[in-house]
Amino acid sequence: MTLPDRAQIVVIGGGIIGCSTAYHLARDHKADVILLEQGKLTSGSTWHAAGLVGQLRSSASITKVLKYSVDLYKRLDQETGLETGWKMSGCLRIATNQDRWIEYRRLATTAQSFGMDMELLSPQEAKAKFPLMQVDDLVGASWLPSDGQASPSDITQSLAKGARMHGARIFENVRVNGFDMKDGRILAVKTDKGDIACDKVVNCAGQWARQIGEMAGINVPLQPVKHQYVITEKIDGLSSDAPTIRDPDRRTYFKEEVGGLSFGGYEPNPQGWTTGDVPNEFEFQLFDDDYDHFEQHMMQAIERVPALGNVGVRQMINGPESFTPDGNFILGPAPECANMFVGAGFNAFGIAAGGGAGWVLAQWVIDGEAPLDLWVVDIRRFSEMHRDRQWVNDRTLEAYGKHYAIGFPHVEYESGRPRIVSPLYDRLKAHRAVFGSKLGWERPNWFAPEGMEAADIPTMGRQNWFDAVGEEHRHVREKVGVFDQSSFAKYEISGSGALAALSHICANDVTKPVGRLTYTQLLNTRGGIEADLTVARIADDKFYVVTGTGFRTHDLAWIREHVPEGADVQVEDITEAYGTLSLMGPHARDVLEKVTEADVSNEAFPFGHVREIGIAGSTVRALRVTYVGELGWELHIPIADIGEVFDALMAAGQSWDIRPIGYRALESLRLEKGYRAWGSDITPNDTPQEAGLGWAVRKNSNTGFIGEAALKAIAEKPLTKRFAGFVIDDPDAVLVGRETILRNGEPVGYLTSGGFGYTIGKSVGYGYVRNEAGVSKEFLEDGTYELVIALDRVPAKIGLKPFFDPSNEKVKA
């Protein structure tokens, strides 16, 4: 075999993701593509996948990706002449308790929000669709008729043929063993059959993606897990078009296969394979049957489908599948390498995602930015801590074990904690903090009053912490509170080209004088919001950038990728160098004046400014800014000094009853004020104008910023969606997001976030109202609104201004 010595793009891995990516690169973009497979196509984990295809996820974009897969599988055989085994059998999800039933009612609402048709059935209606099922213990079932099943190997071979038809070249039995690299870029892929020079590499190597990534210095945090299912002999009375079944309360799934049933599950005690490298030779191989471990699924399956007790097993499949620490797959550009993209870690729904993932990944590779809001699967959601293979293993096994757990809101992972703590961890524990975790950081979610258990108790209704969080909320509105926000991601950007680079990257004006700060979005070329952060100018050629904890890798990579080539710009991540205390509330200045000699009056230290002030012997970078809508400062403190500064604030604030406050109160406070949250309320799918943030975009830019051309192109056109707030009076209604918005009885959008506003005493939600003919202020205000909450229609009132806004003077004075 002689390999070509050059290609535009090299795709590594011949499973369904690699073949789909190559197919879409060749078909949609006419790219010069070579696909390399170390064994035979499908020989990794694709060939033994169960082949269930579901579409509904909690993200509208990921649901769109999965719906694309179904559409592709339906028609691919017409293009290539190779069958895909696609069968739209529909899917039953069955519920045996009220919490699960509420979850399904919420899922049905989400489906409605995303334009899908999900029905809720009685136990007998469910049995009519699958007569062999025992339903005496059911509360009901959900029914999604457009779900189905497919043959993983057949789809992959059909995609491979389609890729070849459009010009892609596929080479089997070629092993990648390294890369030629220079200045963080891959110049050539090194293989056992020769080297291939290339412009870009797409790592779709499945369970080998982790070690392929390491060859280029990138981290792909996935963990192979042993996943078992069995295929039975023929079962009398089983229809060939029987629906797939998911029985999450028994942790099992079923699908018809050649007259029998294929069934397996997600056990709470999963078995990881290896935290080391996966052997290269593990092709078309399985592990030994493990009936002892599988017995838990066998017993549950027989109770659900009694006919299984009288039928033989034709085959047991026990093979590795790649899972991730949060149960979402991995797509996108590796932050450590300028021209490697990744598509891996599909958590046993690679078949469902394969068509759509290849579609969006190909577009991402060509354009350099995602075509949709793909944040939940973006590889840049991970950080350096995810290089710890044992931590990734432990968290991934926990996520696997919770695959079929009830989707209670606000549930936290427990494994691998605490991983990163601020120096205040023990102090906050002494205040009875209940911690959550964000990108490894322990952060206080709320504080338990004396006599109350300091722990979350999951529920579908009002949470056990509801009243305690309400007290924290009111404390910030009426007195003063302090938030430990040390987990904020923090960067310093310096150099003679720093101002010009930030002016190019940021949509708002960052050319303000030293001592000023700017709230800004970073936009993609479509004008969508890729990041939402604060830029403080601390010297003529030095800026301090603060963004959300979870966006640390993403935002840093975005900034670095868009610094003009050759510019004198240094971008440094200094997150661990500074801790952050946010002092917020009407008495914040009273407290601050007692601990610093600096003048913190409104005249000397106005809103939107940054100053260095002394507190407790430490030089503190103070930012006059708020995310709660009250007078306050973010105090950025050398991390070693944060304990002393915290103690000084707590002592000085006794007269005003200062107390530590958690992140759940922060969330309710920001909801009342209408502050947007990136990743939910504002995303790469949304422009600043649609989000009501047009005021944060500079006009008539002389330098030109990323996304400016797109915004100008749509400036004269009517907006087809606009961000709006909603409140409801029903005291028992719980908003969690994705509830459908009805205007005059017709669906016009869904909530992007929801919660409770304790000051106004109402549930609060935000979302985009859509109308292709245009969404004017009059259109919004003229409608009568309802929210669909777990399928119940509840009257709502729209708000185009903050629901709590007695006076902005609190923030400014």
pLDDT beyond 80 at 50: no
Of the candidates 130, 644, 131, 717, the one whose C-alpha atom is nearest the C-alpha of residue 427 is 644
The whole-number pLDDT of residue 810 equals 59
pLDDT band at 505 (very low <50, low <70, confident <90, very high): very high
Residue 310's CB: how many other CB atoms inside 10 A?
A: 9
The whole-number pLDDT of residue 807 equals 67
Contact 479, 658 (CB under 8 A): yes
Q: How far is CA 196 from CA 177, 191, 199, 223, in A?
A: 12, 8, 10, 29
pLDDT beyond 70 at 295: yes
The b-or-e profile of 482-521 (16+ CB within 10 A means b, else e) is bbbbbbbbbbbbbbebbbbbbbbbbbbbbbeeebbbbebb
pTM for this model (two decimals):
0.96
Over residues 88-97, mean pLDDT = 95
Reduced to 3 states (helix: H, G, I; strand: E, B; else coil), residue 431 is coil
Q: In whole angstroms, what is the distance from residue 374 CA to residue 430 CA?
A: 39
Over residues 5-21, mean pLDDT = 97
Q: In whole angstroms, what is the distance from residue 10 CA to residue 13 CA?
A: 10
Contact 256, 239 (CB under 8 A): yes
Q: What percent of the chain has pLDDT over 90?
A: 91
pLDDT beyond 90 at 47: no
Q: At what angle do helices 152-165 and 60-80 cross, to 10 degrees?
A: 70
pLDDT beyond 80 at 346: yes
Q: Residue 741: exposed, middle, or buried by beta-carbon count in 10 A (0-12, 13-18, 19+)?
A: buried
Over residues 502-511, mean pLDDT = 97
Q: Which residues pair with 99 in a beta bridge?
A: none
Q: Tens digit of pLDDT for each residue in 760-806?
A: 999 999 999 999 999 999 999 999 999 999 999 999 999 999 999 87
Reduced to 3 states (helix: H, G, I; strand: E, B; else coil), residue 365 is helix
Q: In whole angstroms, what is the distance from residue 119 CA to residue 111 CA?
A: 10
The whole-number pLDDT of residue 156 equals 94
The whole-number pLDDT of residue 349 equals 84
Question: What's the mean pLDDT when you consider all of the chain?
Answer: 95
Over residues 652-681, mean pLDDT = 97
Q: DSSP assignment, residue 303?
A: H
Q: In whole angstroms, what is the distance from residue 74 CA to residue 158 CA?
A: 12
Of the candidates 176, 201, 175, 174, the one whose C-alpha atom is nearest the C-alpha of residue 187 is 201
Give the pair of three-digit tokens for residue 481.
């509170």
Q: Which domains does the chain have, with CATH numbers?
A: 6-84+150-221+326-381 (3.50.50.60), 91-148+224-322 (3.30.9.10), 489-573 (3.30.70.1400), 578-656 (3.30.1360.120)
- Spatial strand order in the sheet of 610-615: 610-615, 618-623, 632-638, 578-584, 481-484, 659-660
Give the pair of three-digit tokens for residue 184.
């963080």
Query: Which residue, chain included where needed, has tokens 């007195």?
Result: 479
**Could you give the maximum distance between any two Cα atoms of the chain, in Å?**
85
Over residues 175-187, mean pLDDT = 97
Q: In whole angstroms, what is the distance from residue 693 CA to residue 670 CA?
A: 15
Of the listed ranges 75-89, 303-317, 390-404, 409-423, the least confidently predicted one is 75-89
- Spatial strand order in the sheet of 529-539: 517-523, 529-539, 542-547, 489-494, 570-573
pLDDT beyond 70 at 812: no
Q: Tens digit of pLDDT for each residue in 136-167?
A: 999 999 999 988 888 889 999 999 999 999 99
